[in-house]
Structure 1
Amino acid sequence: MIVITGATGNVGRTLVRLVSSSGHAVTAVSRGIEPSEVPAGVRAVAADLADPASLRPALDGADALFLLVAGDDPDGIVAEARAAGVHRIVLLSSQGAGTRPDAYAHAARFEDAVTGSGLDWTVLRSGGLASNAYAWVQPIKTARVAPSPFGDVGLPFIDPDDVAATAAAVLTSDAHKGQTYVLTGPALTTPRQRAAAIEAALGEPIRFVEQARDEAYAQMTQFMPAPVAEGTLAILGTPTAEEQQISPDVERILGRPGTPFAEWARRNAPAFR
Protein backbone atom coordinates (compact mmCIF):
# COMPACT_ATOMS: atom_id res chain seq x y z
CA MET A 1 0.00 0.00 0.00
CA ILE A 2 1.15 3.52 -0.81
CA VAL A 3 0.26 6.42 1.50
CA ILE A 4 0.00 9.83 -0.16
CA THR A 5 -0.02 12.92 2.03
CA GLY A 6 -1.35 16.21 0.71
CA ALA A 7 -3.84 14.12 -1.23
CA THR A 8 -6.24 16.96 -2.03
CA GLY A 9 -3.58 19.42 -3.22
CA ASN A 10 -2.41 20.42 -6.69
CA VAL A 11 0.10 17.56 -6.85
CA GLY A 12 -1.53 15.05 -4.51
CA ARG A 13 -4.92 14.88 -6.19
CA THR A 14 -3.38 13.83 -9.51
CA LEU A 15 -0.88 11.54 -7.79
CA VAL A 16 -3.66 9.64 -6.00
CA ARG A 17 -5.45 9.11 -9.31
CA LEU A 18 -2.31 7.98 -11.15
CA VAL A 19 -1.12 5.53 -8.51
CA SER A 20 -4.54 4.04 -7.81
CA SER A 21 -5.31 3.63 -11.53
CA SER A 22 -2.08 1.68 -11.96
CA GLY A 23 -3.41 -1.03 -9.65
CA HIS A 24 -1.76 -0.08 -6.36
CA ALA A 25 -3.62 0.17 -3.08
CA VAL A 26 -3.63 3.80 -1.97
CA THR A 27 -4.40 5.62 1.25
CA ALA A 28 -5.04 9.33 0.68
CA VAL A 29 -4.19 11.61 3.59
CA SER A 30 -4.95 15.25 4.31
CA ARG A 31 -6.59 17.24 7.05
CA GLY A 32 -10.35 16.87 6.93
CA ILE A 33 -10.36 14.66 3.83
CA GLU A 34 -13.68 13.06 2.89
CA PRO A 35 -14.19 9.76 1.00
CA SER A 36 -16.01 11.70 -1.72
CA GLU A 37 -12.76 13.53 -2.52
CA VAL A 38 -10.87 10.43 -3.69
CA PRO A 39 -11.40 7.88 -6.47
CA ALA A 40 -13.36 4.70 -5.80
CA GLY A 41 -11.27 2.09 -4.02
CA VAL A 42 -8.95 4.63 -2.37
CA ARG A 43 -8.95 4.77 1.41
CA ALA A 44 -9.26 8.32 2.80
CA VAL A 45 -7.75 9.02 6.22
CA ALA A 46 -7.72 12.43 7.89
CA ALA A 47 -4.39 13.24 9.54
CA ASP A 48 -2.17 16.25 10.15
CA LEU A 49 1.57 16.22 9.44
CA ALA A 50 1.96 18.69 12.30
CA ASP A 51 0.95 15.76 14.58
CA PRO A 52 3.00 12.72 13.53
CA ALA A 53 1.04 10.37 15.79
CA SER A 54 -2.13 11.18 13.85
CA LEU A 55 -0.59 9.35 10.87
CA ARG A 56 -0.66 5.95 12.57
CA PRO A 57 -4.04 4.79 11.19
CA ALA A 58 -3.00 5.85 7.68
CA LEU A 59 0.40 4.15 7.85
CA ASP A 60 -0.91 0.81 9.09
CA GLY A 61 0.10 -1.77 6.46
CA ALA A 62 1.89 0.76 4.26
CA ASP A 63 4.91 -0.06 2.12
CA ALA A 64 5.68 3.42 0.81
CA LEU A 65 5.00 7.02 1.83
CA PHE A 66 4.77 10.14 -0.31
CA LEU A 67 5.64 12.96 2.06
CA LEU A 68 5.23 16.72 1.84
CA VAL A 69 7.35 19.27 3.68
CA ALA A 70 4.72 20.18 6.28
CA GLY A 71 4.68 20.33 10.04
CA ASP A 72 7.70 20.88 12.25
CA ASP A 73 8.73 17.34 13.23
CA PRO A 74 10.18 15.46 10.27
CA ASP A 75 12.01 13.08 12.60
CA GLY A 76 8.71 12.22 14.28
CA ILE A 77 7.05 11.54 10.93
CA VAL A 78 9.93 9.32 9.86
CA ALA A 79 9.81 7.46 13.18
CA GLU A 80 6.09 6.78 12.72
CA ALA A 81 6.73 5.51 9.19
CA ARG A 82 9.53 3.24 10.32
CA ALA A 83 7.45 1.86 13.21
CA ALA A 84 4.61 1.07 10.78
CA GLY A 85 6.90 -0.95 8.51
CA VAL A 86 7.20 1.57 5.68
CA HIS A 87 10.31 0.80 3.65
CA ARG A 88 10.28 3.68 1.11
CA ILE A 89 9.77 7.43 1.47
CA VAL A 90 9.49 9.79 -1.49
CA LEU A 91 9.82 13.37 -0.30
CA LEU A 92 8.49 16.32 -2.28
CA SER A 93 10.95 19.05 -1.36
CA SER A 94 11.90 22.36 -2.94
CA GLN A 95 14.69 23.24 -5.32
CA GLY A 96 15.53 25.97 -2.84
CA ALA A 97 16.68 23.33 -0.33
CA GLY A 98 19.64 22.80 -2.63
CA THR A 99 20.22 26.29 -4.00
CA ARG A 100 19.36 28.36 -0.90
CA PRO A 101 19.50 26.04 2.12
CA ASP A 102 19.48 28.90 4.64
CA ALA A 103 16.22 30.34 3.33
CA TYR A 104 14.74 26.88 2.87
CA ALA A 105 16.03 25.37 6.10
CA HIS A 106 12.65 23.78 6.81
CA ALA A 107 12.79 21.74 3.60
CA ALA A 108 16.46 20.92 4.25
CA ARG A 109 15.50 19.50 7.67
CA PHE A 110 12.97 17.20 6.04
CA GLU A 111 15.55 16.07 3.51
CA ASP A 112 18.03 15.30 6.29
CA ALA A 113 15.41 13.31 8.22
CA VAL A 114 14.42 11.27 5.17
CA THR A 115 17.91 10.62 3.79
CA GLY A 116 19.15 9.68 7.25
CA SER A 117 16.18 7.45 8.04
CA GLY A 118 17.76 4.12 7.10
CA LEU A 119 14.81 3.54 4.75
CA ASP A 120 14.85 3.60 0.97
CA TRP A 121 14.35 7.19 -0.11
CA THR A 122 14.05 9.50 -3.09
CA VAL A 123 13.95 13.30 -2.90
CA LEU A 124 12.09 15.33 -5.51
CA ARG A 125 13.21 18.96 -5.48
CA SER A 126 10.50 20.83 -7.32
CA GLY A 127 10.98 24.20 -8.92
CA GLY A 128 8.14 26.72 -8.92
CA LEU A 129 4.75 25.25 -9.78
CA ALA A 130 2.64 26.50 -12.66
CA SER A 131 -0.29 26.41 -10.25
CA ASN A 132 1.28 29.34 -8.36
CA ALA A 133 -0.59 31.32 -11.02
CA TYR A 134 -3.76 30.57 -9.07
CA ALA A 135 -2.74 33.60 -6.99
CA TRP A 136 -4.07 35.57 -9.96
CA VAL A 137 -7.54 33.99 -9.91
CA GLN A 138 -9.28 36.78 -8.00
CA PRO A 139 -7.54 39.77 -9.64
CA ILE A 140 -8.12 38.28 -13.08
CA LYS A 141 -11.75 37.44 -12.32
CA THR A 142 -12.55 40.81 -10.80
CA ALA A 143 -10.34 43.25 -12.73
CA ARG A 144 -8.61 41.28 -15.52
CA VAL A 145 -5.19 42.16 -14.05
CA ALA A 146 -2.24 39.90 -13.17
CA PRO A 147 0.09 41.48 -10.59
CA SER A 148 3.61 40.17 -9.99
CA PRO A 149 7.08 41.44 -9.20
CA PHE A 150 10.04 40.91 -11.55
CA GLY A 151 7.88 40.74 -14.64
CA ASP A 152 10.65 39.88 -17.07
CA VAL A 153 12.68 37.36 -15.07
CA GLY A 154 12.30 33.84 -16.45
CA LEU A 155 12.09 30.61 -14.44
CA PRO A 156 11.29 27.02 -15.56
CA PHE A 157 7.97 26.62 -13.75
CA ILE A 158 6.67 23.05 -13.76
CA ASP A 159 3.15 21.70 -14.27
CA PRO A 160 2.08 20.06 -10.98
CA ASP A 161 0.71 17.14 -13.00
CA ASP A 162 4.29 16.47 -14.17
CA VAL A 163 5.44 16.48 -10.54
CA ALA A 164 2.67 13.98 -9.79
CA ALA A 165 3.57 11.77 -12.76
CA THR A 166 7.23 11.78 -11.71
CA ALA A 167 6.31 10.95 -8.12
CA ALA A 168 4.06 8.10 -9.31
CA ALA A 169 6.91 6.63 -11.37
CA VAL A 170 9.30 6.86 -8.43
CA LEU A 171 6.84 5.44 -5.89
CA THR A 172 6.08 2.38 -8.01
CA SER A 173 9.63 1.44 -9.03
CA ASP A 174 12.78 0.28 -7.29
CA ALA A 175 14.99 2.14 -9.76
CA HIS A 176 15.21 5.45 -7.92
CA LYS A 177 16.59 4.56 -4.49
CA GLY A 178 18.94 7.12 -2.99
CA GLN A 179 18.39 9.65 -5.77
CA THR A 180 17.68 13.38 -5.58
CA TYR A 181 15.94 14.77 -8.66
CA VAL A 182 15.34 18.38 -9.64
CA LEU A 183 11.98 18.88 -11.34
CA THR A 184 11.49 21.82 -13.69
CA GLY A 185 9.37 22.73 -16.67
CA PRO A 186 10.72 22.52 -20.23
CA ALA A 187 11.34 26.26 -20.74
CA LEU A 188 11.85 29.55 -18.93
CA THR A 189 8.77 31.74 -18.69
CA THR A 190 8.44 35.19 -17.14
CA PRO A 191 5.45 36.42 -15.14
CA ARG A 192 4.54 38.65 -18.06
CA GLN A 193 4.61 35.65 -20.42
CA ARG A 194 2.57 33.51 -18.03
CA ALA A 195 -0.07 36.24 -17.83
CA ALA A 196 -0.12 36.38 -21.64
CA ALA A 197 -0.59 32.59 -21.78
CA ILE A 198 -3.61 32.83 -19.48
CA GLU A 199 -4.91 35.71 -21.59
CA ALA A 200 -4.64 33.54 -24.72
CA ALA A 201 -6.33 30.62 -22.97
CA LEU A 202 -9.23 32.83 -21.86
CA GLY A 203 -9.51 34.71 -25.14
CA GLU A 204 -9.94 37.92 -23.13
CA PRO A 205 -7.47 40.75 -22.44
CA ILE A 206 -5.48 40.68 -19.20
CA ARG A 207 -3.29 43.55 -18.06
CA PHE A 208 0.01 42.59 -16.43
CA VAL A 209 0.89 44.85 -13.49
CA GLU A 210 4.44 44.84 -12.16
CA GLN A 211 4.47 44.97 -8.37
CA ALA A 212 7.09 46.54 -6.18
CA ARG A 213 9.11 44.00 -4.23
CA ASP A 214 7.85 45.32 -0.88
CA GLU A 215 4.24 44.95 -1.98
CA ALA A 216 4.83 41.36 -3.05
CA TYR A 217 6.64 40.62 0.22
CA ALA A 218 3.73 41.96 2.28
CA GLN A 219 1.32 39.70 0.40
CA MET A 220 3.52 36.61 0.64
CA THR A 221 4.12 36.90 4.37
CA GLN A 222 0.39 36.61 4.93
CA PHE A 223 0.64 32.88 4.12
CA MET A 224 4.32 31.91 4.46
CA PRO A 225 7.14 32.50 6.98
CA ALA A 226 9.25 35.60 6.36
CA PRO A 227 12.48 33.66 5.58
CA VAL A 228 10.66 31.59 2.94
CA ALA A 229 9.14 34.75 1.45
CA GLU A 230 12.60 36.32 1.29
CA GLY A 231 14.05 33.22 -0.34
CA THR A 232 11.20 32.99 -2.80
CA LEU A 233 11.54 36.63 -3.81
CA ALA A 234 15.29 36.15 -4.22
CA ILE A 235 14.65 33.27 -6.63
CA LEU A 236 11.96 35.21 -8.48
CA GLY A 237 14.06 38.36 -8.78
CA THR A 238 17.68 37.26 -8.89
CA PRO A 239 17.73 33.55 -9.72
CA THR A 240 21.04 31.76 -9.91
CA ALA A 241 22.15 30.00 -13.08
CA GLU A 242 21.18 26.71 -11.42
CA GLU A 243 17.68 27.98 -10.67
CA GLN A 244 17.20 28.94 -14.32
CA GLN A 245 18.59 25.68 -15.66
CA ILE A 246 16.21 23.23 -17.36
CA SER A 247 16.64 19.94 -15.51
CA PRO A 248 16.60 16.73 -17.59
CA ASP A 249 15.12 14.69 -14.74
CA VAL A 250 11.43 14.91 -15.68
CA GLU A 251 12.07 13.79 -19.24
CA ARG A 252 14.52 11.13 -18.08
CA ILE A 253 11.97 9.59 -15.72
CA LEU A 254 8.79 10.06 -17.77
CA GLY A 255 10.26 9.51 -21.22
CA ARG A 256 8.69 12.73 -22.48
CA PRO A 257 9.32 16.46 -22.13
CA GLY A 258 7.61 18.43 -19.42
CA THR A 259 4.37 20.27 -20.12
CA PRO A 260 4.67 23.91 -21.29
CA PHE A 261 3.04 26.58 -19.14
CA ALA A 262 0.72 27.51 -22.01
CA GLU A 263 -0.76 24.01 -21.92
CA TRP A 264 -1.29 24.27 -18.15
CA ALA A 265 -3.06 27.60 -18.76
CA ARG A 266 -5.35 26.10 -21.42
CA ARG A 267 -6.24 23.17 -19.17
CA ASN A 268 -6.99 25.42 -16.20
CA ALA A 269 -8.54 28.42 -17.94
CA PRO A 270 -11.98 27.84 -16.32
CA ALA A 271 -10.50 28.73 -12.91
CA PHE A 272 -9.83 32.28 -14.15
CA ARG A 273 -13.19 32.98 -15.82
Structure 2
Amino acid sequence: MRILVTGASGNVGRLVVEGLQGVEVHALSRRVRRDLPSGVRGVVGDLADPESLRGVFSGIDRLFLFPVPETVERVVEMACAAGVSRVVTLSSGAVTDGYDTDFHLPVERAVEASGTEWTHVRPGEFALNRLWLWGPSVRRSRVVRDPAPEEAWYPVHERDIADVAVLSLLKDGHTGRAYTLNGPALVSRREQVEAIAEAIGEPVRFEVVDPRTAREEYLAQGGFAAANADFLLGFEDYSGEEADPEGQGLVAPVSVPTSQEVTGRAARTFRQWARDHAADFA
Protein backbone atom coordinates (compact mmCIF):
# COMPACT_ATOMS: atom_id res chain seq x y z
CA MET A 1 0.00 0.00 0.00
CA ARG A 2 1.24 3.48 -0.89
CA ILE A 3 -0.13 6.53 0.97
CA LEU A 4 0.37 10.19 0.11
CA VAL A 5 0.21 12.68 2.96
CA THR A 6 -0.43 16.26 1.86
CA GLY A 7 0.34 19.14 4.20
CA ALA A 8 3.11 16.88 5.47
CA SER A 9 5.02 19.77 7.05
CA GLY A 10 1.99 20.83 9.11
CA ASN A 11 1.27 20.19 12.75
CA VAL A 12 -1.04 17.26 11.98
CA GLY A 13 0.42 16.08 8.68
CA ARG A 14 3.89 15.50 10.07
CA LEU A 15 2.40 13.31 12.82
CA VAL A 16 0.39 11.35 10.28
CA VAL A 17 3.64 10.70 8.40
CA GLU A 18 5.27 9.48 11.61
CA GLY A 19 2.31 7.28 12.51
CA LEU A 20 2.00 5.38 9.25
CA GLN A 21 3.81 2.08 9.70
CA GLY A 22 4.14 -0.92 7.41
CA VAL A 23 3.25 1.00 4.24
CA GLU A 24 5.07 3.13 1.69
CA VAL A 25 4.63 6.79 2.62
CA HIS A 26 5.01 9.79 0.33
CA ALA A 27 5.08 13.18 2.05
CA LEU A 28 3.99 16.20 0.00
CA SER A 29 5.33 19.65 0.91
CA ARG A 30 5.77 22.88 -1.01
CA ARG A 31 9.55 22.67 -0.70
CA VAL A 32 12.20 19.97 -0.34
CA ARG A 33 12.46 18.54 3.18
CA ARG A 34 15.56 17.01 4.75
CA ASP A 35 13.96 15.98 8.05
CA LEU A 36 11.60 13.19 7.02
CA PRO A 37 11.61 9.87 8.87
CA SER A 38 13.72 7.10 7.39
CA GLY A 39 11.96 5.38 4.49
CA VAL A 40 9.55 8.24 3.78
CA ARG A 41 9.77 9.67 0.29
CA GLY A 42 9.49 13.44 0.08
CA VAL A 43 7.68 14.92 -2.92
CA VAL A 44 7.30 18.58 -3.81
CA GLY A 45 4.03 20.16 -4.87
CA ASP A 46 1.45 22.75 -3.93
CA LEU A 47 -2.24 21.93 -3.50
CA ALA A 48 -3.02 25.51 -4.49
CA ASP A 49 -1.39 24.83 -7.88
CA PRO A 50 -2.73 21.55 -9.29
CA GLU A 51 -0.33 21.71 -12.23
CA SER A 52 2.52 21.22 -9.75
CA LEU A 53 0.97 17.88 -8.76
CA ARG A 54 1.30 16.14 -12.11
CA GLY A 55 2.71 12.67 -11.47
CA VAL A 56 2.44 13.00 -7.68
CA PHE A 57 -0.57 10.68 -7.46
CA SER A 58 0.89 7.96 -9.69
CA GLY A 59 0.74 4.63 -7.84
CA ILE A 60 -0.89 6.19 -4.75
CA ASP A 61 -3.61 4.06 -3.12
CA ARG A 62 -4.76 6.33 -0.28
CA LEU A 63 -4.57 10.04 0.42
CA PHE A 64 -4.53 12.29 3.49
CA LEU A 65 -5.90 15.57 2.19
CA PHE A 66 -5.06 18.97 3.64
CA PRO A 67 -7.89 21.48 2.97
CA VAL A 68 -7.45 23.90 0.08
CA PRO A 69 -11.01 24.62 -1.08
CA GLU A 70 -10.08 26.77 -4.08
CA THR A 71 -8.57 23.85 -5.98
CA VAL A 72 -9.99 20.79 -4.25
CA GLU A 73 -12.21 19.65 -7.11
CA ARG A 74 -9.31 19.51 -9.54
CA VAL A 75 -6.97 17.91 -6.99
CA VAL A 76 -9.49 15.19 -6.14
CA GLU A 77 -10.17 14.62 -9.84
CA MET A 78 -6.44 14.11 -10.47
CA ALA A 79 -6.09 11.77 -7.48
CA CYS A 80 -9.04 9.58 -8.45
CA ALA A 81 -7.96 9.45 -12.11
CA ALA A 82 -4.59 8.13 -10.91
CA GLY A 83 -6.26 5.35 -8.90
CA VAL A 84 -6.55 6.73 -5.36
CA SER A 85 -9.28 4.67 -3.67
CA ARG A 86 -9.54 6.29 -0.23
CA VAL A 87 -9.30 9.90 0.94
CA VAL A 88 -9.12 11.05 4.56
CA THR A 89 -9.68 14.79 4.92
CA LEU A 90 -8.43 17.13 7.58
CA SER A 91 -11.60 19.08 8.24
CA SER A 92 -13.03 21.02 11.21
CA GLY A 93 -15.52 20.64 14.02
CA ALA A 94 -17.01 23.90 12.77
CA VAL A 95 -18.54 21.87 9.93
CA THR A 96 -20.32 19.68 12.49
CA ASP A 97 -21.68 22.77 14.26
CA GLY A 98 -22.79 24.40 11.00
CA TYR A 99 -20.42 27.39 11.19
CA ASP A 100 -18.09 26.36 8.38
CA THR A 101 -19.83 26.47 5.00
CA ASP A 102 -17.16 27.89 2.71
CA PHE A 103 -13.81 26.41 3.69
CA HIS A 104 -13.73 22.85 5.01
CA LEU A 105 -17.24 21.93 3.91
CA PRO A 106 -16.51 22.35 0.16
CA VAL A 107 -13.50 20.05 0.58
CA GLU A 108 -15.66 17.40 2.21
CA ARG A 109 -18.29 17.69 -0.51
CA ALA A 110 -15.77 17.44 -3.33
CA VAL A 111 -14.32 14.26 -1.85
CA GLU A 112 -17.75 12.71 -1.29
CA ALA A 113 -18.83 13.57 -4.84
CA SER A 114 -15.78 11.78 -6.29
CA GLY A 115 -17.15 8.35 -5.43
CA THR A 116 -14.00 7.29 -3.56
CA GLU A 117 -13.98 5.93 -0.02
CA TRP A 118 -13.84 8.85 2.39
CA THR A 119 -13.47 9.76 6.05
CA HIS A 120 -13.56 13.28 7.48
CA VAL A 121 -11.51 14.14 10.57
CA ARG A 122 -13.03 17.20 12.25
CA PRO A 123 -10.96 18.56 15.15
CA GLY A 124 -12.37 21.24 17.41
CA GLU A 125 -10.15 23.80 19.12
CA PHE A 126 -6.47 22.88 18.79
CA ALA A 127 -4.53 22.93 22.06
CA LEU A 128 -1.75 24.31 19.85
CA ASN A 129 -3.64 27.61 19.71
CA ARG A 130 -2.31 28.31 23.20
CA LEU A 131 1.28 27.95 22.03
CA TRP A 132 0.75 30.21 19.03
CA LEU A 133 -1.09 32.83 21.09
CA TRP A 134 0.64 32.70 24.45
CA GLY A 135 4.06 31.23 23.66
CA PRO A 136 5.86 34.55 23.01
CA SER A 137 4.67 36.23 26.23
CA VAL A 138 5.29 33.12 28.34
CA ARG A 139 8.82 32.78 26.99
CA ARG A 140 9.52 36.49 27.33
CA SER A 141 7.99 37.39 30.70
CA ARG A 142 6.13 34.36 32.10
CA VAL A 143 2.76 36.06 31.69
CA VAL A 144 -0.45 35.46 29.74
CA ARG A 145 -2.69 38.43 28.97
CA ASP A 146 -6.23 37.42 28.10
CA PRO A 147 -9.72 38.91 28.63
CA ALA A 148 -11.54 35.70 29.57
CA PRO A 149 -9.82 33.62 32.27
CA GLU A 150 -12.88 31.48 33.00
CA GLU A 151 -13.89 30.81 29.38
CA ALA A 152 -13.50 27.08 28.86
CA TRP A 153 -13.52 24.52 26.08
CA TYR A 154 -12.19 21.07 25.19
CA PRO A 155 -8.78 21.65 23.52
CA VAL A 156 -7.63 18.67 21.48
CA HIS A 157 -4.08 17.35 21.25
CA GLU A 158 -2.78 17.26 17.67
CA ARG A 159 -1.56 13.69 18.20
CA ASP A 160 -5.13 12.53 18.83
CA ILE A 161 -6.13 14.07 15.50
CA ALA A 162 -3.28 12.32 13.72
CA ASP A 163 -4.05 9.00 15.40
CA VAL A 164 -7.60 9.04 14.05
CA ALA A 165 -6.36 9.99 10.57
CA VAL A 166 -3.80 7.16 10.57
CA LEU A 167 -6.37 4.61 11.68
CA SER A 168 -8.81 5.80 8.99
CA LEU A 169 -6.12 5.50 6.33
CA LEU A 170 -4.90 2.06 7.33
CA LYS A 171 -7.95 0.20 8.62
CA ASP A 172 -11.35 -0.62 7.19
CA GLY A 173 -14.60 0.31 8.89
CA HIS A 174 -14.22 4.10 8.74
CA THR A 175 -15.58 4.79 5.28
CA GLY A 176 -18.41 7.32 5.20
CA ARG A 177 -17.72 8.55 8.72
CA ALA A 178 -17.13 12.09 9.95
CA TYR A 179 -15.27 12.11 13.26
CA THR A 180 -15.58 15.23 15.41
CA LEU A 181 -12.68 15.33 17.87
CA ASN A 182 -12.19 17.28 21.07
CA GLY A 183 -10.16 17.03 24.21
CA PRO A 184 -11.40 14.83 27.07
CA ALA A 185 -12.11 17.59 29.59
CA LEU A 186 -13.49 21.11 29.83
CA VAL A 187 -10.52 23.34 30.70
CA SER A 188 -10.71 27.07 31.44
CA ARG A 189 -8.03 29.39 30.14
CA ARG A 190 -6.85 30.00 33.70
CA GLU A 191 -6.49 26.24 34.18
CA GLN A 192 -4.61 26.02 30.89
CA VAL A 193 -2.11 28.60 32.12
CA GLU A 194 -1.70 26.63 35.34
CA ALA A 195 -0.99 23.48 33.33
CA ILE A 196 1.65 25.31 31.26
CA ALA A 197 3.28 26.65 34.43
CA GLU A 198 3.36 23.16 35.91
CA ALA A 199 4.89 21.77 32.72
CA ILE A 200 7.75 24.29 32.58
CA GLY A 201 8.27 24.26 36.35
CA GLU A 202 7.91 28.04 36.76
CA PRO A 203 5.05 30.35 37.74
CA VAL A 204 3.11 31.94 34.88
CA ARG A 205 0.95 34.93 35.76
CA PHE A 206 -2.51 35.39 34.26
CA GLU A 207 -3.20 39.07 33.65
CA VAL A 208 -6.79 39.91 32.75
CA VAL A 209 -6.98 42.59 30.05
CA ASP A 210 -9.83 43.96 27.96
CA PRO A 211 -10.37 42.49 24.46
CA ARG A 212 -8.98 45.55 22.67
CA THR A 213 -5.74 45.44 24.61
CA ALA A 214 -5.40 41.74 23.85
CA ARG A 215 -6.06 42.41 20.17
CA GLU A 216 -3.35 45.08 20.04
CA GLU A 217 -0.86 42.62 21.52
CA TYR A 218 -1.82 39.84 19.12
CA LEU A 219 -1.59 42.15 16.12
CA ALA A 220 1.87 43.28 17.24
CA GLN A 221 2.90 39.66 17.76
CA GLY A 222 2.22 38.78 14.12
CA GLY A 223 1.80 35.31 12.65
CA PHE A 224 -1.10 33.16 13.80
CA ALA A 225 -2.02 35.56 16.62
CA ALA A 226 -2.36 38.54 14.31
CA ALA A 227 -4.19 36.62 11.60
CA ASN A 228 -6.77 35.26 14.02
CA ALA A 229 -7.02 38.01 16.64
CA ASP A 230 -10.40 39.38 15.58
CA PHE A 231 -12.07 35.97 15.49
CA LEU A 232 -10.51 34.58 18.65
CA LEU A 233 -11.31 37.69 20.66
CA GLY A 234 -14.87 38.02 19.42
CA PHE A 235 -14.52 41.02 17.10
CA GLU A 236 -15.77 38.91 14.18
CA ASP A 237 -17.80 35.73 13.84
CA TYR A 238 -16.83 32.56 11.97
CA SER A 239 -18.01 33.98 8.66
CA GLY A 240 -15.88 37.11 9.12
CA GLU A 241 -18.77 39.43 9.96
CA GLU A 242 -18.27 42.09 12.63
CA ALA A 243 -19.27 40.99 16.14
CA ASP A 244 -19.37 42.37 19.67
CA PRO A 245 -16.41 41.17 21.79
CA GLU A 246 -18.39 41.98 24.93
CA GLY A 247 -21.24 39.67 23.87
CA GLN A 248 -22.17 36.30 25.28
CA GLY A 249 -19.35 33.77 25.11
CA LEU A 250 -19.68 30.22 23.90
CA VAL A 251 -21.61 27.85 26.14
CA ALA A 252 -19.67 24.60 26.36
CA PRO A 253 -21.64 21.34 26.14
CA VAL A 254 -21.50 18.87 28.99
CA SER A 255 -19.69 16.27 26.90
CA VAL A 256 -18.14 16.07 23.46
CA PRO A 257 -16.79 13.29 21.20
CA THR A 258 -13.09 12.50 21.46
CA SER A 259 -10.58 10.27 19.70
CA GLN A 260 -11.31 7.49 22.20
CA GLU A 261 -14.52 6.62 20.37
CA VAL A 262 -12.39 5.85 17.31
CA THR A 263 -9.08 4.56 18.65
CA GLY A 264 -10.24 2.91 21.87
CA ARG A 265 -7.52 4.79 23.79
CA ALA A 266 -8.12 7.62 26.22
CA ALA A 267 -7.78 11.04 24.61
CA ARG A 268 -4.77 13.07 25.73
CA THR A 269 -5.43 15.74 28.34
CA PHE A 270 -4.40 19.39 28.14
CA ARG A 271 -1.88 18.78 30.92
CA GLN A 272 -0.27 16.07 28.83
CA TRP A 273 -0.22 18.43 25.85
CA ALA A 274 1.47 21.09 28.00
CA ARG A 275 4.13 18.58 29.11
CA ASP A 276 4.70 17.57 25.49
CA HIS A 277 5.28 21.23 24.57
CA ALA A 278 7.11 22.39 27.71
CA ALA A 279 10.28 23.14 25.74
CA ASP A 280 8.31 25.34 23.34
CA PHE A 281 7.16 27.55 26.23
CA ALA A 282 10.47 27.59 28.08
Fold-level similarity (TM above 0.5): yes
Question: 1:88 — aligned with what?
Answer: 86
1:149-184 deviation per Cα after TM superposition (whole angstroms, max 9, x unaligned):
432121111110111111110100121001111111
Matched-pair identity in %: 35
CA displacement at 1:56 relative to structure 2:
2.8
2:8 corresponding residue in structure 1: 7
CA contact (8 A) 1:88 1:120 kept: yes
Q: Displacement of 1:5 after TM fit?
A: 1.1
SS at match of 1:66: strand
Matched residues in 2 for 1:73 and 1:117: separation?
Answer: 14
2:69–2:104 contact (8 Å) kept in structure 1: no
Superposed CA offset, 1:61-96 (max 9, x none): 111110112352221121121122111110010101
User: In the alignment, residue 109 of structure 1 is paired with which amino acid?
Assistant: P
Please provide the CA RMSD for this pair: 2.5
The separation in 2 between residues aligned to 1:241 and 1:232, in whole angstroms, is: 20
Structure 2: stretches of 5+ with no match in the other structure: none
Q: Which amino acid aligns with 1:245?
A: S
Q: In the superposition, relative to structure 1, how do residues 241 and 268 fare at CA in structure 2: closer, same or farther (>3 Å)?
A: closer
Q: Do the aligned partners of residues 204 and 182 (structure 1) sit closer, same or farther apart at CA in structure 2, a change above 3 Å counting? A: same
Equivalent residue letter for 1:223: A
| 1:142 equivalent in alignment to 2:140 | yes
Q: Which residue does the alignment assign to 1:247?
A: 257
Q: How does 1:122-141 map to 2 (within 5 A)?
A: 122-135=119-132, 136-141=134-139
Deviation, structure 1 residue 8: 1.6
Partners of 1:117 and 1:217 in 2: CA distance: 42
CA–CA separation in structure 2 for the residues paired with 1:227 and 1:75 = 28
Whole-Å separation in 1 of the counterparts to 2:239 and 2:143: 22
Distance 1:147 1:232, change over 3 A: farther
Shift of 1:117: 1.6
Q: Which residue of 2 is the match for residue 30 of structure 1? A: 29
Structure 1 unmatched ranges of 5 or more: none
Contact 2:215 2:229 in 1 (8 A): no
Q: Is the counterpart of residue 107 in structure 1 residue 142 in structure 2?
A: no
Q: CA deviation at 1:100?
A: 3.4
The 5 A counterparts of 1:168-247 are: 168-215=166-213, 219=219, 222-223=226-227, 230-231=237-238, 238-241=249-252, 245-247=255-257
**How many aligned positions are there?**
265
TM superposition shift of 1:268: 1.1
Residues 1:17 and 1:144: Cα distance change in structure 2 (over 3 Å): same
Cα deviation per residue 1:15-72 (whole Å; 9 max; x = unaligned)? Answer: 10110xx2111011122141x2211110101211111232233312111110112352
Q: What amino acid is the match of 2:124?
A: G
Cα distance in 2 for residues equivalent to 1:71 and 1:8 = 19
Report the Cα offset of residue 217 of structure 1.
Answer: 5.6
Q: Answer yes or no: is the 8 Å Cα contact 2:153–2:252 preserved in 1.
A: no
CA distance in structure 2 between the partners assigned to 1:216 and 1:145 by the alignment: 13
Letter in 2 for 1:247: P
Q: Bigger shift: 127-136 or 85-94?
A: 127-136
CA–CA distance in structure 2, aligned partners of residues 225 and 119 of structure 1: 37
**Secondary structure class of the residue paired with 2:28:** strand
CA contact (8 A) 2:43 2:56 kept: yes
Structure 2 counterparts to residues 250-265 of structure 1, below 5 A: 250-265=259-274
Structure having the higher Rg: 2
Whether contact under 8 Å (1:97, 1:107) holds in the other structure is yes
